[in-house]
C-alpha cells in the first residue's frame, strides 16, 4: 500500500476546473515531484492533499486512511506537513516563535526540543537568527524557515511547494542539498518545483501536469532524458 494515494481528484476555483481527475501515488521513503508550467495545477494539488482547498470529487488516502476534505490541522496531526508556496511565515514573530508554531499540535516537549535542535542543525543560518523577526530574513532564509517549521510537525510526508522560487542559484543549490538530507533521514517528500532540472535530479518519480491533468509519469531520471520534457521544461532545444 502506498503512503499517499490520490484518486480522480477534481478541484474548481471560481468556476474554473483547476484539477480534472488527477491520480497518482507516493511510496514510503520516496521523493516524488510534480512539474509543469504555471497554472498547470501543481500548487492546487498540494493544497487539496493538505486540506487547504476542498476537492469537488475524488479522494486522497494517507497511510490507508481517507483524508479528503478533513480540516488541515487534522491532516497535520496525522503526519502530513505542507511547506507552502510563498513560504507563509509569520513576519512579525521571531524565527523561534515561527518554529514553535510548527509544533503546536505536539505534546511531547522533549521530542519537540530534539526536533528543533535537528532542524537548526540542518539550517545553521536560521540558528543564528532565532531572536530576529522572521520578516527581516532574506528570501532564502525565509524559505529555510518555512521548511524547518514544517519539519517541526515531525511529518511522515512533507509537501514542498516551490522551495527554490525567486532564490539565487547558489541558495537553490543549498535548498536542494537540504531536501536530499531530509529525504535521506527517512521523510517521504512530494515536491512541486518550477526548476524542473533540479526537481528531476532529486526525485525518483516524476509526474507532469498540463492544464489540470496528468500528462506523463515515470522514472525521474528517464523523464529528464525525454526530448519532449527537455524541450518543454529544461530549456534544451
Q: What is the pLDDT of residues 102-150, one digit of tens each?
A: 998 888 999 999 999 999 999 999 999 999 999 999 998 999 999 999 9
The percent of residues in the chain predicted with pLDDT above 70, rounded, is 99
Average confidence (pLDDT) over 214-225 = 93
Q: What is the structure's pLDDT at 213?
A: 96
Residue 231 pLDDT: 84
Q: What is the largest CA-CA distance in the chain?
A: 54
Mean pLDDT of 26-47: 94
67 plus 116 within the same structural domain: no
pLDDT of the residue at 236: 64
**Domain identity same for 159 and 106:** no
- On whether residue 84 sits in a domain, the answer given is no
Segment 4-14 shows an average pLDDT of 95
Q: Greater confidence, 14 or 59? A: 59
Is residue 65 located within the same domain as residue 133? Answer: no
What percentage of the chain carries pLDDT values higher than 90? 79
Q: What is the C-alpha separation between 147 and 83, in angstroms, rounded?
A: 6
Average model confidence (pLDDT) across the chain: 92
Q: Quick: pLDDT tens for 172-191.
A: 898 999 999 999 999 999 99
Q: Is residue 237 scored above 60 in pLDDT?
A: no
Residue corresponding to grid cell 517541526: 152
Same domain (yes/no): 68, 114: no
Do 140 and 224 have their domain in common?
no
Tell me the CA end-to-end span of the chain in Å, nearest whole number.
39
Exposure string over 208-232, b if 16+ CB within 10 A, otherwise e: bbeebebebeeebeebbebeebbeb
How many structural domains comprise the chain? Answer: 2
Is 131 a member of any domain?
yes
Q: What is the pLDDT of residue 114?
A: 94
Same domain, yes or no, for 62 and 107? no
Closest CA to 88 of 163, 11, 18, 13: 163
Please indicate, yes or no, if residue 58 is contained in any of the structural domains: yes
Alpha-carbon distance of 197 to 224, in angstroms, equals 8
Confidence at 87, pLDDT banded by 50, 70, 90: confident
The backbone region for 192, taken as left when phi is positive above 0, alpha when psi lies in -120 to 50, beta otherwise, is beta
Q: Tell whether 85 is covered by a domain.
A: no
Q: Kindly tell me if the per-residue pLDDT of 85 is higher than 90.
A: no
Find the mean pLDDT for residues 4-19. 94
Same domain, 61 and 104: no
| Mean pLDDT within 16-35 | 96
Q: How far apart are CA 217 and CA 220, in angstroms?
A: 8
Enclosing domain of residue 213? 4-79+155-233
Residue that is written with C-alpha cell 535542535 in the block: 117
* Residue 219 predicted with pLDDT over 90: yes
Amino acid at each position: 500500500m502506498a503512503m499517499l494515494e490520490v484518486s480522480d481528484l477534481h478541484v474548481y476555483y471560481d468556476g474554473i476546473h483547476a484539477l480534472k481527475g488527477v491520480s497518482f501515488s507516493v511510496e514510503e521513503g520516496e521523493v516524488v515531484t510534480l512539474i509543469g508550467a504555471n497554472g498547470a495545477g501543481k500548487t492546487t494539488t498540494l493544497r487539496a492533499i493538505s486540506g487547504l482547498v476542498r476537492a469537488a470529487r475524488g479522494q486522497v488516502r494517507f497511510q490507508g486512511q481517507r483524508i479528503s476534505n478533513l480540516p488541515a490541522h487534522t491532516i497535520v496531526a496525522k503526519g502530513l506537513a505542507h511547506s507552502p508556496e510563498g513560504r507563509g511565515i509569520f513576519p512579525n514573530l521571531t524565527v523561534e516563535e515561527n518554529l514553535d508554531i510548527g509544533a503546536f499540535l505536539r505534546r511531547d516537549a522533549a521530542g519537540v526540543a530534539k526536533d528543533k535542535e535537528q532542524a537548526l542543525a540542518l539550517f545553521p543560518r536560521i540558528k543564528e537568527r532565532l531572536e530576529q523577526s522572521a520578516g527581516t530574513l532574506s528570501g532564502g532564509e525565509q524559505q529555510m524557515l518555512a521548511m524547518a517549521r514544517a519539519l517541526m510537525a515531525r511529518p511522515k510526508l512533507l509537501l514542498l511547494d516551490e522551495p527554490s522560487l525567486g532564490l539565487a542559484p547558489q541558495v537553490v543549490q543549498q535548498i536542494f542539498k537540504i531536501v536530499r538530507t531530509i529525504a535521506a533521514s527517512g521523510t517521504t517528500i512530494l515536491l512541486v518545483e518550477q526548476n524542473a532540472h533540479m526537481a528531476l535530479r532529486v526525485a525518483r518519480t516524476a509526474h507532469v501536469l498540463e492544464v489540470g491533468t496528468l500528462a506523463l509519469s515515470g522514472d525521474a531520471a528517464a523523464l529528464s532524458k525525454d526530448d519532449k520534457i527537455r524541450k518543454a521544461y529544461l530549456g534544451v532545444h
